[in-house]
């Protein structure tokens, strides 16, 4: 029987990870006729595939070859007229190029509102596969965070970004099958978030001259979040000089004593900050005038008819209760 030669070709070569490749074996007869039969393709680190010989050629398509160099062997089975033969070649598989796309939601956001940043990493078409590895997010004016890819997607959540634009860069570090890539986006935190100021006083009501503690609590309006900073100015509503105090943990306090009774409208004005707008809160504080007692005396008492009598009236305010004394016991000397 005439002998044969088997030539092996692969397209494309080199290929990218995840890219399908076509294996071809051309059976060259060393005599008259056209070879038939089958060809078995064996790929180091890959599959073994058998294909029929049609018109002297056998073809098969495979995919998902690992990155590296692979020896591909094509073994022709022979037929009734031609003897078997074998051919081989090398296939080079390179890491696949990738594309990283970055999005943020909601965009724009309010100050203090949580923002979810997502990076989707995909192979560049027509390549296939699902990239693995990690993505590093570099957020302008914010933190740098790293998250793993899950089904080709990495996600992080941030808040407390300052008002204004924030450039975001997502860097995919690559993996054995996929090349690194990066994507960019710009997230915007809208103008200053709204705030609310609430005022309370204690004790309420109070007496003239009594010290009253006024408390202003400043909070961002949802969806904003965070702890406000800045100052609060208290106007006690009695013509006295307003007092400005700093916020500590979102709370400002001031003490004041009223000279006269009556209702007083107290106003607390929050100055605002780089991220929060000013706001004002009011409260009506009541001052109750202290009660008085009047004592009337006459002298002489009793008197005779026609005798002059002197009368006197004494007015007094009640004194506040005296503090309860604390009894102190002398320490006994130790017994000998």
Q: What is the pLDDT of residue 190?
A: 83
> Kind of pairing, strands 181-189 and 164-172?
antiparallel
Cis before residue 295, ω within 30 degrees of 0? no
Q: Summarize the chain as % helix, strand, coil (round to 5).
A: 0, 55, 45
Burial class (CB in 10 A: 0-12, 13-18, 19+), 274: exposed
List, in sequence order, every residue forming a beta bridge with 312; answer none if it has no partner. Answer: 297
List, in sequence order, every residue forming a beta bridge with 158; answer none if it has no partner. Answer: 115
Q: What is the pLDDT confidence band of residue 328, given thresholds at 50, 70 and 90?
A: very low
Q: What is the pLDDT of residue 216?
A: 97
Q: Where is average pLDDT lowest: 60-64, 103-107, 323-327?
A: 323-327
- Decide if pLDDT at 315 tops 70: no
Tell me the average pLDDT of the chain: 89
Higher-confidence residue of 214 and 275: namely: 214
- Decide if pLDDT at 223 tops 80: no
Interior angle at CA 16, CA 15 and CA 17, nearest 5: 125
Give the burial string for 151-172 (b: 16+ CB within 10 Å, else e): ebbbbbebebbebeebebbbbb
- Decide if pLDDT at 220 tops 80: yes
- Decide if pLDDT at 329 tops 50: no
Q: What is the pLDDT of residue 162?
A: 87
CB count within 10 Å of CB 61 equals 11
Q: What is the pLDDT confidence band of residue 12, given thresholds at 50, 70 and 90?
A: very high
Interior angle at CA 262, CA 235 and CA 257, nearest 5: 50
SS3 113: coil
Cis before residue 103, ω within 30 degrees of 0? no
Please name the residues in contact with 239: beta carbons below 8 A apart, sequence gap of 6 or more. Answer: none
From CA 108, how far away is CA 187, in angstroms rounded? 7
Q: Largest Cα–Cα distance of the chain, in whole Å?
A: 170
Residue that has been written with the tokens 């192979």 in this structure: 123
In angstroms, what CA-CA distances link 295 with 143, 163, 292, 299, 303? 75, 68, 10, 14, 19
- Decide if pLDDT at 324 tops 50: no
- All structural domains of the chain, each given as residue ranges with its CATH number in brackets, are 4-94 (2.60.40.10), 98-189 (2.60.40.10), 195-287 (2.60.40.10)
**pLDDT digit string, tens, across residues 92-138:** 999 999 999 999 999 998 888 899 999 999 999 878 889 999 999 99
Average pLDDT over residues 301-309: 74
296 secondary structure, DSSP code: E
Please name the residues in contact with 68: beta carbons below 8 A apart, sequence gap of 6 or more. Answer: 45, 92, 93
Q: Which two tokens stand for residue 3?
A: 């002998």
35 secondary structure, DSSP code: -
């Amino acid at each position: 029987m005439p002998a044969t030669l088997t030539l092996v070709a692969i397209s494309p070569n080199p290929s990218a990870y995840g890219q399908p490749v076509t294996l071809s074996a051309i059976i060259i007869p060393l005599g008259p006729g056209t070879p038939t039969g089958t060809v078995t393709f064996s790929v180091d680190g890959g599959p073994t595939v058998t294909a029929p010989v049609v018109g002297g050629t056998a073809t098969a398509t495979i995919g998902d070859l690992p990155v590296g160099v692979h020896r591909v062997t094509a073994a022709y089975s022979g037929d009734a007229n031609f003897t078997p033969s074998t051919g081989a070649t090398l296939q080079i598989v390179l890491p696949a190029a990738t594309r990283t796309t970055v999005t943020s939601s909601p965009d724009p956001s309010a100050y203090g509102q949580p923002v979810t940043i997502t990076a989707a990493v995909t192979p560049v078409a027509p390549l296939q596969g699902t990239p693995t590895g990690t993505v590093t997010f570099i957020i302008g004016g914010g933190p740098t965070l790293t998250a793993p890819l899950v089904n080709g997607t990495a996600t992080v959540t941030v808040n407390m970004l300052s008002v204004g634009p924030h450039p975001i860069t997502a860097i995919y570090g690559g993996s054995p099958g996929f090349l690194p890539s990066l994507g960019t986006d710009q997230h915007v935190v809208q103008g200053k978030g709204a705030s609310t100021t609430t005022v309370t006083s204690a004790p309420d009501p109070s007496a003239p001259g009594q010290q009253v503690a006024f408390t202003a609590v400043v909070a961002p309006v949802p969806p904003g979040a965070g702890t406000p900073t800045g100052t609060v100015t208290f106007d006690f509503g009695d013509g006295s000089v307003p007092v400005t105090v700093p916020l500590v943990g979102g709370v400002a306090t001031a003490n004041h004593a009223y000279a006269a009774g009556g209702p007083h409208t107290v106003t607390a004005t929050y100055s605002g900050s780089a991220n929060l707008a000013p706001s004002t809160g009011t409260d009506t504080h009541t001052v109750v005038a202290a009660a008085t007692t009047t004592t009337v005396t006459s002298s002489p008492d009793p008197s005779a008819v026609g005798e002059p009598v002197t009368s006197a009236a004494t007015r007094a305010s009640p004194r506040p209760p005296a503090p309860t004394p604390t009894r102190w016991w002398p320490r006994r000397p130790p017994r000998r």
